[in-house]
Amino acid sequence: MGTATGIIRALNSGIKHLAIKRFTLRYPEEKLKFVGDGYQYDPSTGVGIAGLKGRHMLFHDKCTGCQLCAIACEGVAEAIAMVKVPEEHKHNKKAIMPQIDYGKCVFCGLCVDACPFYALYMTNDYELCSFSKEGLIYTPAQLQVKPYVAQDVDIIITDRGASHG
């Protein structure tokens, strides 16, 4: 193949892209859809449930303060610290619950695998930035809140190419 034909073919395949849909996700305006409500784990079968590994969610009515999540995280990022909580639960004599430092967490989800009482799950919330280091530390009360996550678009494939819509 001659040089000229080769270059024309290359240009041609670029020009064809003018008719193809834009693939870029316009992030802050539109947000990607996820499967499920975040990564969860079922200790009875030992298998997780697919979902995004985002910010954690702690169920105060189930957490016993057993510290297994903190022990699991010790070898990973030391992001979990056990702190005192003001409320009293029958199942949580010591009144301690995990507090997670998202400046350290790597979102591996091993703490979720470690919790035997269905108390710690992950959610679809991934927008965690903060202006201060302290703002990244989530107390048990903050972890209890179920986040609202906008889920607008998914990848759609048509004859005119793939796009987010």
Q: What is the 8-class DSSP label of residue 147?
A: P
If one asks whether residue 150 binds other proteins (CB under 8 A), the answer comes out as: no
Whats the size of the chain, residue-wise? 165
Per-residue exposure over 122-137, b if at least 16 CB sit within 10 Å of its own CB, e if not:
bbbbbeeeeeeeeebb
Closest CA to 108 of 117, 119, 100, 99: 100
> Closest distance between ligand SF4 and the C-beta of residue 94, in Å?
10
Residue 39 contact among ligand SF4, other proteins, none, beta carbon within 5 to 8 Å by kind: other proteins
Q: Select 111 or 149, whichever has its Cβ closest to ligand SF4.
A: 111
- 14 interface partner picked from other proteins, ligand SF4, none, CB below 5 to 8 A per type: other proteins
Residue 48 sits at φ, ψ, to 5 deg, of -85, 170
Chain residues that interact with ligand SF4, rule: CB under 6 A:
63-69, 72-73, 76-77, 79-80, 98, 100, 105-111, 114-115, 117, 119-120
